Amino acid sequence: MKILGIESSCDETAAAVVEDGRVVLSNIVASQVEEHRLYGGVVPEIASRRHSEAITGVVREALEKAEVTINDIDAIAVTYAPGLIGALLVGVNFAKGLSLSSGLPLVPVHHLRSHIASNYITNESLEPPFLCMVVSGGHTHIINVESYTKYDIIGKTRDDAAGEAFDKAARSMGMPYPGGIMLDKEAEKGNDTAFKLPTPSVDGAPLDFSFSGLKTAVINIISNNKQKGIEINKADLSASYRKAVVDYLVKNLMLAAEKTGQKKIVIAGGVSANSLLRKRLEEECKKRKLQFFCPELKYCGDNAAMVASQGYYEFLAGNRASLDLNACAQRSIDIG
């Protein structure tokens, strides 16, 4: 069964064709990041406009690369929540139009569900149940994935998402948006014990996260040094900060594994590309005799292959949208 996936929740216009949820026939991503970089973050108005301009070409290219026409497609899956409302609407409206003209069923896909599904593409044998930490620019959740379409959130952030925490720290060090990936690279050259940073925790909720204290600590270090006329060593600060964030993520995820008894540990979302996070989890899981899964780097960030993959499982579960499907800026993963 071939599914056409469409994604436009943030600043990537993407379309892909995936067979039976696992085999990627094409995966086209048109990124707007260069343009948003000028403003230090995603400008929603610009994002919507660029999606409108790009979407027809991106979908056409996805069909061409997969060497199929719309007649070979069995269903259209589209990200409808959560995300930037104007951006989501472009994908949703395009998918509705295509569904109406082709007669193909329309399948609504939750963005975080699709991030988790990026692991089905990379890891052929992975099947629920498993424990997944979704770490993206907008979300940080620890989730018991009970089936392909049933989720139980057991931990989440109280303030910033992990990606946001990386981006904000990177920005305060003068790195361009989105700074997470650059901070990761810079950290490779630094000493991770050079700066002392707080060990965060949320009172009474050991699986929840709060990144605001860490972020403030970095901003204070930068401004204190600036006042003293001392040039900060960016590599050392990046390494110390990356270690603090990753230690925190790993600690809570390992605690969640202990509490739930899950033996399969999975990560997903943009921050799952972080090199230290991947390395540390591999080591920790090996020590504890847990199986560790992460998406291939090209499927960590926003893409439509993951939408088509999750769309397949939503389709099998009988989930369909009618032509009154609306986009939602906020919606919990467990609702669907």
Q: Which residues bind ligand KG4 (CB under 6 A)?
A: 10, 136-138, 163, 166-167, 178, 180-181, 184, 269-271, 273-274, 301-302
Q: Nearer Cβ to ligand KG4, position 75 or 281?
A: 281
Q: Within 10 Å of residue 102's Cβ, how many Cβ atoms?
A: 14
Which CB, 80 or 195, lies closer to Zn ion? 80
Q: How many other CB atoms sit within 10 Å of the CB of residue 50?
A: 22
Alpha carbon 185 to its chain's center: 19
Q: Return the structure tokens found at 13.
A: 């216009």
Q: How far is the CB of 230 from ligand KG4 (least distance, A)?
A: 26
Neighbours of 324 (CB within 10 A): 6
Q: How far is the CB of 72 from ligand KG4 (least distance, A)?
A: 29
**Minimal distance, residue 272 CB to Zn ion, in Å:** 10
CB under 5 A: which stretch of 163-171, 195-203, 219-227, 298-306 binds Zn ion? Answer: 298-306
Rounded to a whole number of angstroms, the minimum distance from the CB of residue 113 to Zn ion is: 11
Please give the Cα distance from 275 to 199 (Å, whole number).
21
Give 302 or 314: the residue with its C-beta nearer to Zn ion.
302
Q: Is 251 helix (H, G, I), strand (E, B) or coil?
A: helix
* Phi-psi sector, 289: left (phi>0), alpha (psi -120 to 50), beta: left
Between CA 260 and CA 212 the distance in angstroms is: 27
128 vs 269, which CB is nearer to ligand KG4? 269
Query: Smallest gap, in angstroms, from Cβ of residue 100 to ligand KG4?
Result: 28
CB of 227 to ligand KG4, least distance (A): 28
Q: Does residue 319 sit in helix, strand or coil?
A: coil
Which of 77, 302, 303, 325 forms a contact with Zn ion (CB under 5 A)?
A: 302
Question: In the bound complex, which residue of the shown chain has the CB atom lying closest to ligand KG4?
Answer: 270
Joined tokens for residue 58: 């991106």
List the x/- string, 135-174, binding to Zn ion by CB under 5 A.
-x--------------------------------------
Closer to ligand KG4 by CB, 82 or 128: give it: 82
Nearer CB in complex with ligand KG4: 169/285: 169
- What stretches of the chain adopt beta strand conformation (E)? 2-7, 12-19, 23-31, 75-81, 106-110, 130-135, 140-147, 150-156, 264-268, 291-293
Q: Which chain residues interact with Zn ion by CB under 5 A?
A: 136, 302
